[in-house]
């Protein structure tokens, strides 16, 4: 949960820069939007965060700030 918005952590790696991209399930259906990930693909960084996304069913309920 971040700013009262649920984030789901996943095993596949999301890299920073992919925020806002769709997250797909095994049947290629959009299940969420990528929000957090690793700093760089070639190693770990102190800025790395677990790969996570906001579920698609939550997105329709968000209000702009």
27 pLDDT higher than 80: yes
**Does residue 3 lie in a domain region?**
no
Report the sign of the C-alpha dihedral through residues 26, 30, 36, 39, in that order.
positive
Kindly state the average pLDDT of the residues 34-49.
73
CA distance 37 to 52: 7
41 pLDDT higher than 70: no
pLDDT band at 59; cut points 50, 70, 90:
confident
**Does residue 43 lie in a domain region?**
yes
CA distance 20 to 47: 19
Tally the C-alpha atoms within 13 A of residue 34's C-alpha that lie toward its C-beta.
22
Range of the domain at 50: 8-59
Domain count, the chain: 1
DSSP state of 2: B
**Does residue 16 lie in a domain region?**
yes
């Amino acid at each position: 949960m971040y700013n009262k918005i649920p984030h789901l952590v996943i095993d596949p790696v999301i890299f920073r820069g992919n925020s806002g991209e769709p997250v797909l399930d095994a049947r290629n259906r959009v299940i969420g939007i990528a929000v957090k990930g690793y700093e760089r693909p070639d190693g770990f960084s102190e800025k790395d965060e677990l790969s996570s996304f906001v579920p698609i069913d939550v997105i329709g309920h968000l209000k702009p700030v």
